[in-house]
Structures are given as C-alpha cells and as structure tokens.
Amino acid sequence: MTTEQQTPERDGVRVQPGRIAVVTLDRPERLNALTGRAIAALSRAYADLDADDTVRAIVLTGAGRAFCSGADLSRRGGAFQTPRDPATYRSSPPRPLAFQLRKPVVAAVNGHAVGLGMTLALHCDARIVAREAKWGVVQVRRGVVPDALAHWTLTRSVGTARAAEILLSGRLFTGEDAIRLGVANRVLPATEVLPAAVELAAEMAAGSPLSVALSKRILWSAADGSASLVDDLESEAHRLLMGRPDALEGGQAAFEGRDPEWTASVDDWPTDGPFAGPPMG
C-alpha cells in the first residue's frame, strides 16, 4: 500500500507522506482543539501510515502556535457531556494509539499542549517540546479525570511521584518543566522543534524496519512486565530475525563501512506468538 503523495486536509488533520511522514493537527484558529471528526481523521491517518511500507517513521505536530489545546469545548455543554452509550464508552482516542503503531512516532510539541492534546503526545515514543509551550493534563480542574491512558503512559515515563504532580494538580507547566519532570527528550525554541523531531525520527528510521518495530513493541511492554517477560520477548525477536537477510546484511554492511540495504518490512510482522497482539494486551 502506498500513501498518495499529498493528502488533503481531513477534518482538521493534514498528512504529509514520505519516508518520515508528518501528521499535523490543523485547526490553528481553534488552537488545534480536537473534535470527534478530527480524532477519527487522526485514527485513519495512523492506520494508513502504519500500513504504508514506504513510511519509516512519523512525526506528530500542530499548525500555528499550538500543538493541541485538547478537546473542543466550544460546543454547548463542553466536551464532557453524558456519553450516548455509557456501556460502550471508552476514553482512549484515537484508535490505534501511537504506541501501537509499528513505526516510531515522535511528538513535535511546537506550542501549547493541554488535556487530551498532551496525552496524545504521551502516546508517542519521544517528545521534543517548545520552550515557549504551556502544557498540562488539566482534567481534574474540569470536573473529570485524565484520560486517553494518561495514568499509564505518564507513570511509566516519569514515575508515580512526578505523575502525581502533573495529574493531581491539573496545572499548567512550562517547557522547561518538561525536562525537569522527565516528560520531554529535549526542549528547544518553538521554531526548532519540528526540524529536530524530523531529525530524531530519521535516526529511529535508520534501522531495519522490522527490527525497529519489534524493539518498539518490547519497549512499550517492558515497563509493565517482569525481566523474564522481556527476556522472552527479546529471545523471540531474535528467533524471528536471526539468519534472515536483514540480520546478515546489517553485520556485513557494518564490516564494510557502508549503509545497509534493508529488505524486511513491517509486512513481515508475526501473525502468531507473543508479538501478535497489541502492546497493551
């Protein structure tokens, strides 16, 4: 499957395909606030890019001066009205989530990231945050609780004490706080965030696509599993990869001092065994 060379704006989400695809939340007049249609469009974009073998990594960013101001509160009653079907309601948009994709996803947090906007960044494998940005998971100050798996992604990233400071206070933090609290990989001036995120994504895309995909799955499983589980996953990954063309090419290329030519892809993802299901189980 190949993504079209230029995808038009779809309900507030714009996709620039390529080896490093850039997904832009594109409602700058609303600080990229998310509607149900925008979340559905982001879900489609994630699924399409994950299936596109020409895409090796993804960068998620926002248009204008914000990354994402969270759920759109402009409709009457705000974003937290009674669900239409409480029995089936889930608080984890979009689907799939960024950490469930088989390609690395880097968040270029170019400006303010609030509520659901920040939790989208927490789904990503790495985050580069603008020094000028204000960010926070503010739901306790809106009469609800942090959602989209914020309690899980944040705790596994920064630990319980720092997650408590962020989630239970519901306050806004600065870009520099993102480094202090361990939320960001780097903090840069806003104009440098997207280029740096693309550069980091390209570095993550340099390895064999299948090796990177399996390693990402192990990473997201590791924080919730035992050492023996990680040992089992690493051993299974080696059984899947050793002796295959990419494993032979990688060593030969390193010996010869040249860039490797990979032939494996995420289409070779195992259909059974411990890697068959999503990382959340």
pLDDT of 277 reads 75
- For the chain (281 residues), the mean pLDDT of every run of 10, in chain order, is 48 96 97 93 96 97 97 66 60 85 98 97 98 97 93 94 98 97 98 98 98 96 86 96 96 96 94 81 44
**Residue for token digits 């990177």?**
212
Contacts for 254 with CB less than 8 Å, ≥ 6 apart: 260
pLDDT of 7 reads 47
Sequence-separated contacts (24+) of 233-240 with Cβ below 8 Å: 233/274, 233/275, 236/273, 236/274, 236/275, 237/211, 237/275, 240/210, 240/214, 240/270, 240/275
Can you give the residue ranges of every domain in the chain? Answer: 7-204, 209-268
Intrachain domains 7-204 and 209-268 with the same fold: no
pLDDT of 81 reads 59
Assigned fold of 209-268? Lyase 2-enoyl-coa Hydratase; Chain  A, domain 2 (1.10.12)
pLDDT of 93 reads 79
Assigned fold of 7-204? 2-enoyl-CoA Hydratase; Chain A, domain 1 (3.90.226)
pLDDT of 125 reads 98
pLDDT of 161 reads 97
